[in-house]
Amino acid sequence: MAIELKVPEVGESITEVMIGVWKKNVGDSVSADESVVEIESDKATVELPAPSNGVISAILKQAGEQAVVGEIIGYLEAVSSSQSTPATTPESPASSQAQSVDVRHRVGSTVIGSVQPSSGAGPVMPAAARVLGEAGVPPQSVSGSGPGQRVTKADATSAVSAPPSSTIAAVSSEPQPVMTGTTAISSSETSRSERPVLMSPMRRRIAERLVEAQHQAALLTTFNEVDMTAVMELRKKFKDNFVDRHGVKLGFMSFFVRAAVEALHAVPQVNAEFRDPHIVYRDFCDIGIAVGGGKGLVVPVLRNAEQMNFAQIEQSIGDFAQRAANNKVKLEELQGGTFTISNGGVYGSMLSTPIINPPQSGILGLHAIQERPVAVNGEVVVRPMMYVALSYDHRIVDGREAVTFLKRIKEMIEDPTRLMLEC
């Protein structure tokens, strides 16, 4: 019996999604609850599990194509656990097209790549078809290394990055030179190709929210610098004991989360929200931590961070980072948040002006630690210094409050014992 594979509900108000990577191809066996395909929305990536044991009999929507919630994107031929071989697959809509592994990649309604392996080649995985279609590489020229000689994404990437002569038949044995003035330039050096790639729903939503912040808030950024000596010495002294006791490393982020909690209590305007004609103040701190995920930047939220200790913060952030890399962060973990911390220093950023995440009123930007000469007690010494930035909504937060907030952060980090004593 053919079972319909439908786009599931992925969140409130979300009606359109993009099909991500198919983890199973036509003819592959699947077990009940095994992931079949990734579904990408503007907020998160979810996986569609197989409703029962069976065999994928048809794929109607390929990677990169748009679909709506409830739409049929494929068929699964159910197989009972007692059956040793799958039943014959009935002809389902577009099944003959799916059986021939005719993979198309679309931008809107325009087909920009259509690939079909030759009869002697293994099947082309959807992710590989997308890479080959974008690069214009014939799939029959690529040998597969996957099970059953399937052409995987890694095979496609290697083929695309290889010299053109190894993947695409040359028009002639020698490239024809192009004359520019008195200098002959090889035609291979004058390539000006373009590759349209469909923007993912998450990237599109990120773009919309960043523009929304610029248009609806009165953004301003203030800066300060922090001497990281005390925190670095504290981490060095207790790092082994911390790992032994809590099973996680003691990082810098837990210090800044705790410092932000204290600063938000001291300057509640930064933790507030503008709801015309009101300003809504909060007695709790739900702090979002910007994390680079597999599909783009995500901001999972530490709920009630004011109640969390250092170990709980580090464990939560480590868990978020690991799951974000695998697109496993849940939708509800990305919603809400009263304040955000973004650490561009892990990528080497020295200074930046972060953009707030609406409807929040502030975001703290952390940057790379660099040894610099500074004046201490009338003497020039070399210290590990970090620039910090606070972008804020000037409709709620005045310059005095913004500077006070950053000054509080600086005091807490430069004397971390105050974080333990909450003073």
Rounded to a whole number, what is the largest CA-CA distance in the chain?
85
Cα separation, 314 vs 49, whole angstroms? 31
Residue 17: its H or E element? strand 16-22
Q: How close are the terminal C-alpha atoms of the chain, in Å?
A: 67
Q: Which of 42, 393, 398, 415 is catalytic?
A: 398
Residues 155 and 121 sit within 8 Å (Cβ to Cβ): no
Cα separation, 37 vs 25, whole angstroms? 10
Query: What does the DSSP assignment read for 81-131?
Result: TT-SSPPPPPP-TTHHHHHTT-EEEEETTEEEEEE---TTSPPBPHHHHHH
Distance from CA of residue 267 to its chain's centroid? 31
Structure tokens at 152: 């995987």
Query: What does the DSSP assignment read for 321-342?
Result: HHHHHTT---GGGTS--SEEEE
Q: Which of 227, 276, 393, 394 is catalytic?
A: 394
* Residue of 191, 186, 167 lying closest to 176 (CA atoms): 186
Q: How many helices (H) and strands (E) does the chain have?
A: 10, 22
Q: Where are the beta strands (DSSP E) in 168-299?
A: 177-180, 183-186, 219-227, 273-275, 278-280, 287-289, 291-293, 296-298
What lies within 8 Å, CB to CB, of 384 at 6+ separation is: 227, 228, 229, 232, 369, 370, 371
Structure tokens at 103: 């993979």
The position carrying tokens 């990055």 is 161
* Residue of 255, 299, 254, 306 lying closest to 282 (CA atoms): 306
**Active site (annotated) includes residue 215:** no
**84: number of CA atoms within 13 Å, CB side?**
0
Q: How many CB atoms lie within 10 A of CB 378?
A: 5
**Active site (annotated) includes residue 244:** no
Q: How many CB atoms lie within 10 A of CB 127?
A: 23
Contacts 24+ apart (CB under 8 A), 349-352: 350/387, 351/223, 351/387, 351/389, 352/389
Known catalytic residues are 394, 398
